[in-house]
A and B are shown apart, each in its own frame.
Chain A
Amino acid sequence: DAGITQSPRHKVTETGTPVTLRCHQTENHRYMYWYRQDPGHGLRLIHYSYGVKDTDKGEVSDGYSVSRSKTEDFLLTLESATSSQTSVYFCATSLQGDALYEQYFGPGTRLTVT
């Protein structure tokens, strides 16, 4: 998994509670991403980061925020979890560079909101 870890790997939480997922990489990759994966859907981009403290929204960013204070860590926060946010969340990283678009994925976090 190219030195990408996610924590926790599993989480059950109640509606309305805040949740933070962590992605940690040891590859010194500049770019980091958060995706969600749901049955019948492809991976959908939530937020991404192109450097420390530089982040931008993806296609399904509502209800999520991110922070990146260090190159190696990218945090995803569900401000007030809802049942529609039950999903598997994947972090990914990629190198900077015109030819280097390949994204390396972490093992995922299964989040259940009850």
Chain B
Amino acid sequence: GESVGLHLPTLSVQEGDNSIINCAYSNSASDYFIWYKQESGKGPQFIIDIRSNMDKRQGQRVTVLLNKTVKHLSLQIAATQPGDSAVYFCAEKGGSWGKFQFGAGTQVVVTP
């Protein structure tokens, strides 16, 4: 399979705890943000998105928070499970249509 997970910051989380993954974005004009999950050997998978006119959005077990003042995005995963072990990265869209900037990601390791 295909995966790129070398040299990434790692977040170790105990099963059942909440996880918080952070992302600093660069473009103050970015108007749309996505969190992706990438499991080993697979392509990135959409988790949740948020537009710049919102500061919070909730999905199933996940919440994204957007702080435009400090250009910071976070992903909260409730009751982390072993299946949540993966690389998580954020993407911001700014400028012309469809061109996202992707972060390098954070490796989340869930321990029993």
Binding site for B on A (CB under 8 A): 1, 4, 9, 31, 33, 35, 37-45, 48, 50, 58-59, 88, 90, 92, 94, 101-110
B61 CB–A CB distance under 8 Å = no
A94 neighbours in B (Cβ, 8 Å): 98
What 4 A-B pairs come out closest when comparing CB atoms?
A108-B2, A42-B102, A105-B43, A39-B6
Q: In terms of DSSP, what is the predominant structure of the interface of chain B?
A: loop
Asked if residues B46 and A45 are in contact (CB atoms below 8 Å), the reply is no
Chain B: how many interface residues by the 8 Å CB criterion?
28
Closest Cβ of chain A to B94, distance in Å, is 12
Closest to A45 in B: B99
Asked if residues A39 and B7 are in contact (CB atoms below 8 Å), the reply is yes
Asked if residues B98 and A40 are in contact (CB atoms below 8 Å), the reply is no
Contact of B43 among A31, A39, A50, A107 (CB under 8 A): A107
